[in-house]
Structures are given as structure tokens and as C-alpha cells.
């Protein structure tokens, strides 16, 4: 590949290894590591996320519904300048989310099934070494409720 796409290059801030913690009801319910790396001469960005063994306080519902491992491929359409987040997980789930990355905020959103919408808003600290994520769900894409939050810390 030759040349750089400045829109896609914004994602460089994600590249590297991150410690991930999922938080529900003010408790860490899952932890692990997420790695972002360029693919195919910086044509795509891949994200691999693997979980640590469940914590003693992890609720059984989190263990039973664990999506790990997770793999996502981030792509950009040159014409529309739209990002797409192509997601697959250990449960056999495959989804495509729309994505934006602007002014230190990374957003994902989409319909994950009939009556099931999801969105995620990730905000970086000034030093770009911590990212906080709000994961929300909706039945109608109008009324949203928090599903859980995550914290990513650069390793």
C-alpha cells in the first residue's frame, strides 16, 4: 500500500496493548487484554480482546454470556469517509457497527437484532493512555439504558 489516509490515521492512538476492565453495578465483572494492530499495510485495524479467568465476584450471568475472545476489524470507506467495525466473538456472534472517531471520542452504534440496539461511547484522557467506555442498549433506538462500562488502560 502506498500513501496514508489521514482519516484512517486518526486510529493510530488505539494501536498497542490495553488492560480492559468491564464494570457493572460498580464492580469489576471481567478483565483482560485488548490489542490493536495494523493489518495489510495499514489498510485495516484489528482488535483482539481476550479475558482473564473469571473473578471470584463475577456474577454467573457474566460467565454464562461471556463473549470472549473478541475480534474486530475496523475499516474505512474512502468515498463516504465512514468507518465500520466488523465484530465477531467466541459465542459465534457476528455484527457490523457504524463507527466514528472525532475529537478524542470513539463511537460505535448499530442494531444487533430485532428490538436490540447497541451503542458504545469511548472517551480518552488527555494523555491518551486511558479510555473509558459507556456501553448502552435499547429496544427501540430512542430510550437507552446503561448495559455496563469499561476502562482501558494502555500497557
Element (H, E) at 63: helix 60-64
pTM listed for this prediction:
0.93
Mean per-residue pLDDT for 29-47?
Answer: 95
pLDDT value at residue 50: 97
User: How far apart are alpha carbons 148 and 22 in whole angstroms?
Assistant: 7
pLDDT value at residue 41: 86
CATH of domain 6-154: 2.40.128.20
Q: Over the stretch 82-125, which tens digit does the pLDDT of each residue have? A: 999 999 999 999 999 999 998 889 999 999 999 999 999 999 99
Q: Over the stretch 4-28, which tens digit does the pLDDT of each residue have? A: 778 888 999 999 999 999 999 898 9
Non-local (6+) Cβ contacts of 114 within 8 A are none
Grid coordinates given for 139? 429496544
Q: What is the CA radius of gyration of the chain?
A: 16
In the chain, where are the structural domains located? 6-154
Give the side-chain half-sphere CA count within 13 A for 44: 12
**Residue 136 clears pLDDT 50, i.e. is over it:** yes
pLDDT confidence tier of residue 1, bands split at 50, 70 and 90: very low
Grid coordinates given for 122? 469511548
Grid coordinates given for 8? 484512517
Amino acid at each position: 500500500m502506498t500513501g496514508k489516509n489521514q482519516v484512517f490515521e486518526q486510529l493510530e492512538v488505539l494501536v498497542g496493548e490495553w488492560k480492559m476492565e468491564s464494570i457493572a453495578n460498580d464492580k469489576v465483572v471481567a478483565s483482560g487484554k485488548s490489542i490493536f494492530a495494523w493489518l495489510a499495510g495499514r489498510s485495516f485495524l484489528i482488535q483482539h480482546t481476550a479475558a482473564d479467568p473469571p473473578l471470584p465476584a463475577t456474577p454467573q450471568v457474566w460467565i454464562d454470556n461471556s463473549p470472549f475472545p473478541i475480534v474486530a476489524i475496523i475499516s474505512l470507506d474512502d468515498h463516504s469517509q465512514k468507518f465500520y467495525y466488523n465484530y465477531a466473538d467466541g459465542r459465534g456472534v457476528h455484527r457490523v457497527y457504524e463507527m466514528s472517531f472525532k475529537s478524542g471520542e470513539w463511537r460505535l452504534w448499530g442494531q444487533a437484532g430485532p428490538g436490540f440496539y447497541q451503542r458504545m461511547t469511548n472517551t480518552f484522557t488527555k494523555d491518551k493512555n486511558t479510555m473509558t467506555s459507556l456501553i448502552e442498549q435499547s429496544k427501540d433506538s430512542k430510550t437507552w439504558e446503561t448495559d455496563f462500562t469499561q476502562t482501558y488502560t494502555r500497557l
